[in-house]
Amino acid sequence: MSLNSISQEQRLAHVAQWRASGVTRSAYCVQHGLKLRSFIDWIKRSRELGDGDAKLTLIQGKVAKVLSPQLPAMLVLECPNGSKLHLPSNTSASWLGALLGALS
């Protein structure tokens, strides 16, 4: 099947299957006979369309100051699976945005 003949629905299905597979983009493309550059474009397009299959979801949380001088203020990102990422409270917003973009 030519890459040009793959419908948008099929492209989104490939992206969803890749996300669920746990393999790298490159490995998925080799397994399915896809061009990596095209597949990366599909992934970007799926984000623009709001494909609903993103691994990260922003949820409302609380910001609390730690008043103990022994413990510096921290930013805690908690995933639905319970894993947590502790970052210094002065973490750059642009760096954090880039991190979240890379993880999604």
Neighbouring residues of 103: CB distance < 8 A, sequence distance ≥ 6: 55, 56
Distance CA 37, CA 40 (A): 5
- For position 94, what pLDDT does the model report? 79
The pLDDT of residue 4: 62
The predicted structure's pLDDT at residue 68 = 53
pLDDT, residue 90, reads: 78
Report the sign of the C-alpha dihedral through residues 91, 93, 97, 98, in that order. Answer: negative
Q: What is the pLDDT of residues 41-96, one digit of tens each?
A: 999 888 877 654 445 555 555 555 555 555 567 777 777 667 777 778 777 877 87
The three state secondary structure string of the chain is: CCHHHCCHHHHHHHHHHHHHHCCCHHHHHHHHCCCHHHHHHHHHHHHHCCCCCCCCCCCCCCCCCCCCCCCCCEEEEECCCCCEEEEECCCCHHHHHHHHHHHC
Please tell me the pTM assigned to this model: 0.46
Boundaries of every domain in the chain: 3-48, 56-104
| Residue given tokens 């908690």 in the structure block | 78
Model confidence pLDDT, tens digit, residues 8-49: 888 888 888 888 888 899 999 999 999 999 999 999 888 877
